């Protein structure tokens, strides 16, 4: 039995219990390690929850924004005062409705489509794929390049693309059908993948290409997943036809 009552000693009154429970250097170190471990676990859970939200939790926000962009694009295309295609130089003055929208991107393999905005800054691609402004426009000779987040509602399954898979692009007056010919993984600083001739920044382009870029692997961003495709068909878009004349290859 441990005596709790203090007793007289040569050093004054002392309690055996207080001596047993007095912190030591070892106990202080153990307490510090335990506290640090708890903080690290808590921080890790917070980071994991945030990453989970970024990948899964913003699906409703992406859907909502895509609905708004779709309405804006449809209204712009129905307005005869708006330039026929995104490749037409914009007039000086206030931007017309839909001026920052490039068109629609389709991946029939996933039964997915998105309105593509013009720009790849964080605010541009928060809820939509974004066109690298310095690259070619859809159907043009060069490399029409598009970036998108690796989230459930955007480029989550891009790693499943294979040679020959179809990627479609819709503008106000044209349908463009591209076939995938290469998938690669690169470092974030390898920007030559969006050059007019991918991997050869100084080469003169002779083909109309498309490049999609996204983070890799899933849940991280220390690499970039790249999909290259080549234009194989161009079809006029005709609103008088069913589905505006969409090529059969682009239908899921």
Q: What is the mean pLDDT of the chain?
A: 84
Q: Where are the beta strands (DSSP E) in 56-126?
A: 101-107, 112-118
Q: pLDDT value at position 36?
A: 59
Report yes or no: 165 and 159 within 8 Å, Cβ to Cβ: no
Residues 6+ apart with CB under 8 A from 42: none
Give the mean pLDDT per block of 10 residues along the chain (252 residues). Answer: 56 56 68 62 43 62 96 92 50 63 98 98 97 98 98 97 98 98 97 98 98 96 97 96 96 86
Q: pLDDT value at position 22?
A: 62
The architecture in CATH of the region 100-250 reads Beta Barrel (2.40)
**Residue located via tokens 């170190």:** 29
| C-alpha pair distances (Å), 202 with each of 133, 152, 197, 198 | 18, 36, 8, 10
Report yes or no: 146 and 210 within 8 Å, Cβ to Cβ: yes
Q: pLDDT value at position 80?
A: 73
- 122-135 pLDDT, tens digit per residue, is 999 999 999 999 99
Q: pLDDT value at position 42?
A: 45
Cis amide bond preceding 142, omega within 30: no
- 46-74 pLDDT, tens digit per residue, is 434 344 445 555 899 999 999 999 999 99
Catalytic residues: 149, 215
Query: How is the chain split into domains, by residue range?
Result: 1-79, 100-250
Q: pLDDT value at position 31?
A: 67
In angstroms, rounded to a whole number, what is the distance separating the alpha carbons of residues 170 and 15? 85
The model's pTM = 0.76
């Amino acid at each position: 039995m441990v005596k709790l009552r203090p007793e007289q000693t040569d050093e004054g009154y002392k309690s055996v219990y207080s001596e047993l429970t007095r912190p030591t250097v070892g106990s202080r170190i153990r307490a510090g390690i335990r506290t640090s471990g708890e903080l690290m676990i808590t921080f890790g859970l917070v980071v994991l929850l945030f990453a989970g939200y970024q990948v899964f939790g913003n699906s409703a926000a992406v859907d909502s924004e895509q609905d708004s962009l779709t309405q804006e694009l449809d209204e712009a295309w129905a307005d005869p005062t708006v330039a026929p295609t995104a490749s037409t130089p914009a007039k000086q003055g206030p931007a017309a409705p839909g001026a920052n929208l490039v068109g629609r991107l389709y991946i029939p393999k996933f039964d997915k489509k998105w309105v593509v905005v013009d720009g790849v800054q964080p605010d541009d691609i928060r809820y939509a794929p974004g066109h690298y402004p310095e690259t070619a426009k859809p159907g043009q000779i060069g490399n029409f390049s598009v970036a998108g987040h690796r989230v459930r509602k955007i480029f989550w399954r891009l790693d499943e693309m294979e040679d020959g898979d179809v990627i479609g692009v819709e503008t106000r007056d044209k349908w463009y059908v591209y076939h995938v010919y290469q998938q690669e993984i690169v470092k974030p600083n390898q920007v030559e993948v969006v050059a007019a001739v991918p991997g050869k920044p100084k080469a003169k382009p002779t083909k109309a290409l498309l490049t999609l870029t996204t983070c890799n692997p899933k849940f991280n961003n220390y690499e970039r997943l790249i999909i290259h495709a080549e234009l194989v068909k161009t079809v006029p878009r005709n609103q008088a036809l069913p589905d505006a004349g969409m090529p059969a290859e682009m239908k899921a």
